[in-house]
Structure 1
Amino acid sequence: MYRPLAYRMRPRTLDEVVGQQHLVGPGKIIRRMVDAKLLSSMILYGPPGTGKTSIASAIAGSTQFAFRTLNAATDTKKDLQIVAEEAKMSGTVILLLDEVHRLDKTKQDFLLPHLENGRIILIGATTENPYITINPAIRSRTQIFEVYPLSESDIYHALEQALQDSERGLGKDAITIDEVALTHLARVTNGDLRSALNALELAAKSTAEIAGTIHLTLAIISECVQRKAFSHDKDGDAHYDVISAFQKSIRGSDPDAALHYLARMVEAGDLASICRRLLVIGYEDIGLANPAAAARTVNAVLAAERLGFPEARIPLATAVVDLCLSPKSNSAYTALDAALADIKDGKAGQIPDHLRDSHYQGAEKLQRGVGYQYPHNYPDGWVNQTYLPDTLINTHYYQPKDTGRYEQALHQRLNELQKRKQE
């Protein structure tokens, strides 16, 4: 039976695990658990191809327990029952449950007592943030460990091992690979070892021998490597991490970082998220400091949506640099949030009678609209009268910032009106 190179090269012990030394290195938590023979259920979460299954395999290889693999999305409760029966017979089974965030209530209810009595040691694997996607009942019975994308040097070392290993890898084949090609493969897969090994095997198996040697060049590797874009589930954890970093980079006025995160979303083809986030940023982070920048962002978004990729990247890049280097102010929406907080706290109060609707018969008898002064009847469009409910008199929600000329002018106007009101 054919097994892919990535499968064959899975670690048999913790010493063979590539990367993730914060978990499996000397003195680290998973290493200590294995050494002490005190395994407990855990959830490993992180990007694809970073070693979640490898760690589970290595844990099983470092113990005498049986090791079984299921998928929470596709395998049934009956499959779990088979594992549970085996655990009763053998004592303990290590169960790698892939896509553990997809575990439904029926399977979860069946699994919980077996986790509690220790018959099944669960190693859940997921690309999603378990604190968001996994039921608290499962979380409370597991330890949660995050795995990280592998470094370029980690992948380079693993590729070298695969090329040299004559038992499980490609060591029996007469393969030579250019240094630049190996470096490119380690770099372009962006921390995904599975993709790197799959590309290496495809290159080796699809390249004809010349004089008894398979020579892998940069051109061959480039053709074989699966394009590892920063694509992600739009409801997933990675998606929101990129969006968060994107907005915070613009808010922090760092155009280089903002363009980097923009590039990730462009590479993923996520035009909708980019456009929505830019519109939010234009008003949330720039706001009254530079309203013209927000207006330009709206135009850039309209142009991007009309153009589509790849040309959409041009107005998007323009908007990102514009917003990054613009003065920032969140004074308007934070003022609204303060007003909302008062309303939620029961401080709304009654609308003053002179502001209430008077466009019906009998309104005057109820004092609706009586005493209202029409500001346009006054020389500069302002007259001193009360607008807030009595319970909120002298409340000031809007606190202007002097980070842009436009809001500086608003601040000056506000000070003039407040001074006249006091007089």
Structure 2
Amino acid sequence: MKQPLAYRMRPANIDEVVGQSHLVGKNKIIRRMVDAKMLSSMILYGPPGIGKTSIASAIAGSTNSAFRQLNAATDTKKDLQIVVEEAKFSGQVVLLLDEVHRLDKPKQDFLLPHLENGQVILIGATTENPYISINPAIRSRTQVFELKPLTIADITIALKRALADEKRGLGKDKIIVEEDALLHFARSTMGDLRGALNALELAVLSTKADDDGTITITLAIAEECVQKKALVHDKDGDAHYDVISAFQKSIRGSDVDAAMHYLARLLEAGELLIACRRLMVCAYEDIGLGNPQAVARTVLAVQAAEKLGLPEARIPLANAVVDLALSPKSNSAYLAMDSALADVRAGKSGAIPDSLRDAHYSGASKLGRGIGYQYPHDFPDHWVKQQYLPDSLKRKHYYEPAATGKYEQALASQMNKRFNKDV
């Protein structure tokens, strides 16, 4: 059975690696390791299809080391034992361990001594943040390198190389890939080189040759073979949380275009519920009292989006994004809440003033409960000067009005007019 093009085009040495110049470029760390033939175990992390396996195989090819590939989730301890025995016999084995974050403790305990003595050079590959998901015992014995998403130019180089390579690629065939089709392969796969190569191969294999044996790949064929490419967006991976973070920070920073972009990424990845939740958080955390009407409109927009579902849900959510991003911002209310929580958690509570205590039961007056309480509605403007905080906190000031928006300015004016902390 013929191996897929993406597999055949894996780099044979470090010079064939596409992208990742911050790691394999001249005088960069992995290049320096290879040139000095002084390999150390490492963890490579980043989105799928951007070169983790390629770098591992290129390292092995450049150093003439034996190269083996296992999966931490599906391969057994016995599989690891076979690799270790080979390392003892040959001197050193480069082991690519996919999904290294799923390495269980028995396999980890078996592997650790062989990492320490250098017989096994571990290259762990993961889409998860290793500082969160990988056991510290493994992480402390490896160097962590983050791989960057490939650019359109990077993928274009790899596609052209595959078309020209007669031994491993498609160079033996007469293939013409129109420029707009090549660009579509490179652009629509969202930085996933494996996906781009697989789509190119599918296009070639499924297109009938002309009378002279030429296979011509048009944009229409490329679009059909790529289909709709999901975003590089793993619900449990870094990309998921990075997009959510960027979405809220863009709204907070009043960049409506960036906020719209990140909302589009969430919706294209099918993350309607996450987008709705994050908008609600943004509304109350970042806009808050700066524009309460926008907060209320966002709640309605989210309710409408949840009822409509995609694709129509994008319409009320787009309205909410524009409204929130361009609204006055205020986080004064939740800062006041956090400040109050900090005091409570630190034990700064104090006794509730007797005048405020529950007085509905028989005998409450004998305990002094409720005595002296003044009912605000019995006074002009429904306000009367009296103490509400415990004695130990009666001069405590939690809420600091923000100078953004007419609404909160009105609140500040009301507060300054009526609230005297010296009560």
TM-score exceeds 0.5: yes
**2: CA distance, partners of 1:374 / 1:335:** 26
Aligned to 2:337: 336
Deviation at 1:223, TM superposition (A): 0.5
**2: CA distance, partners of 1:309 / 1:226:** 19
> Conserved in 2, the CA contact under 8 Å of 1:195 and 1:226?
no
Aligned to 1:222: 223
> Conserved in 1, the CA contact under 8 Å of 2:301 and 2:317?
yes
Aligned to 1:24: 24
Deviation at 1:246, TM superposition (A): 0.2
Aligned to 1:55: 55
Deviation at 1:233, TM superposition (A): 2.8
1:295-310 mapped onto 2 (5 Å cutoff): 295-310=296-311
User: Is residue 2:375 matched to residue 1:386?
Assistant: no
TM, length-normalised to structure 2: 0.98
**1: CA distance, partners of 2:413 / 2:138:** 57
- Give the number of aligned pairs: 422
Alpha-carbon spacing, 1:231–1:148, altered in 2? closer, same or farther (3 Å): closer
Corresponding letter in the other structure for 1:150: L
Aligned to 1:101: 101
1:237-256 mapped onto 2 (5 Å cutoff): 237-256=238-257
1:82-231 mapped onto 2 (5 Å cutoff): 82-211=82-211, 212-230=213-231
Aligned to 2:263: 262
Deviation at 1:232, TM superposition (A): 2.8
Deviation at 1:230, TM superposition (A): 1.6
Deviation sequence 1:142-183 (CA, Å, 0-9, x none): 100000111111111111110000000000000011111111
1:278-297 mapped onto 2 (5 Å cutoff): 278-297=279-298
Aligned to 1:362: 363
Unaligned runs of 5+ in 2: none
> Conserved in 1, the CA contact under 8 Å of 2:232 and 2:239?
no
**2: CA distance, partners of 1:353 / 1:145:** 62
Task: State the secondary structure of the residue aligned to 2:230.
Answer: coil
**2: CA distance, partners of 1:138 / 1:159:** 36
Return 351-360 or 162-171, whichever deviates more.
351-360
Task: State the secondary structure of the residue aligned to 1:380.
Answer: helix
**1: CA distance, partners of 2:337 / 2:245:** 22
**2: CA distance, partners of 1:32 / 1:231:** 30
> Conserved in 2, the CA contact under 8 Å of 1:14 and 1:31?
yes
1:34-73 mapped onto 2 (5 Å cutoff): 34-73=34-73
Deviation sequence 1:261-310 (CA, Å, 0-9, x none): 00001101111101100111110001011111111011111111111111
**2: CA distance, partners of 1:403 / 1:305:** 31
Aligned-pair Cα RMSD in Å = 1.2
> Conserved in 1, the CA contact under 8 Å of 2:394 and 2:422?
no
**1: CA distance, partners of 2:226 / 2:136:** 39
Deviation at 1:416, TM superposition (A): 0.5
User: Is residue 2:347 matched to residue 1:346?
Assistant: yes
Deviation sequence 1:348-385 (CA, Å, 0-9, x none): 11211111112222222221212111111111111111
